[in-house]
A = this chain, B = another copy of it.
Amino acid sequence: MKLSEIGAEGLISRIVQKRHLPSSAPGLVAGIGGDAAVISPESAGMLTLVTTDMLTERTDYLPHQITPYQLGWKSAAANISDIAAMGGLPTWTFASIGFRPETDVEYIDELYRGIVECGNCFGSILAGGDTNSVLGDAVISITQLGRVEQNNLARRSGARPGDRILVTGCLGDSLGGLYLLLRLGLAEALSASKNLIEAHFLPMPRIPEARAAVGTGFIRAMMDLSDGLAADLPKLCRASGVGAVVYAERLPISNHLCTGAERLGISAAELAEGGGEDYELLMAVAPEGVPSVTQAIEETGTRVTDIGEILPGGIAIELAGGERRPLKGGWEHFAGEQS
């Protein structure tokens, strides 16, 4: 069945029937069926977080490679990761989609299932959105609300010289997966490395890790790595008015990436440095707090690595031989390619 056959109201009824969009939930005064969702006020001392992120067909994904479930998950995950970056908890998800009228309704079902399951994993509820018809490329625009206690709010701007730079998880897996997909196509890429493809299509927002980290009181600055270390570390440094050095040999690289990089003929370190869509946390940590932060994050089951330190100025990566050079790679949106 096509979207054009059931129409926008039919689609919304279907989303509700499939329990993707609840008619009631604690804190949701009115959800589906009105002109706007109505949400109870946050309890005292809680700040509201709002982030929004759009994915479009061909620019951000290729529909013959990513499943609709993965597309929904990834759209939600990118937003929830921004809530993690601020030290918060996700609360409400709003999904606006634009799809061609000839799109199968089952495709949209799966898309919503991905959005909703990702949200539910981290405590967020789908509370509304918009369904649109488009003539060309499909588009998914998610707005994610969250909450954070005033004293847990993390920003990019608090890093000071001497702070250690920590990252969660491994870097470069998502980019490695993307390169495999572009070079080999889906079937061969999957057989080359299912893990890297999953890292690209099903990223895990670091909500428990972020909450554990800010709970220690030692996080001076934090952000999520969506555009890659080479593009994102300079943003954190600029916001804080500092510099940084990271050590190439310390960048956390998965075994999967080593194997995949070999297949691609690219160095795994380069993929980790450029990265993009890792959705790991990048943190500047007060030096005396490194053991506490490390322990708190490791207790969530996720590794954390000290990759360098904040300097008064200049941003560089130090290679094995001790040579320092600027960081390379990272995503620039309107250039439309890795620059």
B-binding residues in A (CB < 8 A): 3-4, 6-9, 11, 29-30, 33-42, 44-54, 56-60, 81-83, 85-86, 88, 92, 94, 96-98, 101, 127-137, 139, 141, 143-146, 148, 153, 155-157, 223-224, 239, 332-336
A333 CA / B46 CA spacing, docked (Å): 38
Q: How far in angstroms is the closest Cβ of chain B from A228?
A: 13
Q: Which of A101, A134, A332 has the most CB of B within 10 A?
A: A134
Residues of B within 8 A of A156 (CB): 33-35
Residues of B within 8 A of A335 (CB): 4, 7, 101, 133
A45 CA / B135 CA spacing, docked (Å): 43
Closest 8 CB pairs of A and B: A35-B85, A8-B333, A141-B141, A36-B51, A136-B136, A35-B82, A143-B143, A36-B49
Residues of B within 8 A of A37 (CB): 49-51
Q: How far in angstroms is the closest Cβ of chain B from A24?
A: 13
* Contact with A130, one of B8, B40, B46, B53 (Cβ below 8 angstroms): B53
Extra contacts, 18 of them, besides A33-B156, A33-B239, A38-B49 (Cβ < 8 A), are A4-B334, A4-B336, A30-B153, A35-B223, A36-B83, A36-B146, A39-B47, A41-B46, A50-B143, A51-B128, A56-B98, A59-B98, A59-B133, A59-B134, A101-B335, A133-B333, A133-B336, A141-B141
A117 CA / B46 CA spacing, docked (Å): 30
A129 CA / B143 CA spacing, docked (Å): 9
Chain B residue at minimum C-beta to C-beta distance from A58:
B135
Asked if A48 meets B58 with Cβ closer than 8 Å, knowing A53-B96, A332-B8, A333-B131, the reply is no
Question: In the complex, are the beta carbons of A59 and B96 less than 8 A apart?
Answer: no
Residues of B within 8 A of A57 (CB): 136
- Can you give 18 A-B contacts (C-beta < 8 A)? A4-B335, A7-B335, A8-B332, A35-B223, A35-B224, A36-B49, A36-B82, A40-B48, A41-B45, A52-B141, A53-B96, A54-B130, A56-B98, A56-B134, A94-B143, A133-B335, A139-B139, A139-B141
* Contact with A101, one of B4, B49, B336 (Cβ below 8 angstroms): B336
Residues of B within 8 A of A59 (CB): 98, 132-135
Q: How far in angstroms is the closest Cβ of chain B from A173?
A: 20
Residues of B within 8 A of A3 (CB): 334
A85 CA / B96 CA spacing, docked (Å): 19
Residues of B within 8 A of A145 (CB): 50
Question: In the complex, are the beta carbons of B92 and A52 less than 8 A apart?
Answer: no
Question: In the complex, are the beta carbons of B39 and A50 less than 8 A apart?
Answer: yes
Question: In the complex, are the beta carbons of A52 and B96 less than 8 A apart?
Answer: yes
Question: In the complex, are the beta carbons of B132 and A333 less than 8 A apart?
Answer: yes
A9 CA / B96 CA spacing, docked (Å): 24
A132 CA / B35 CA spacing, docked (Å): 27
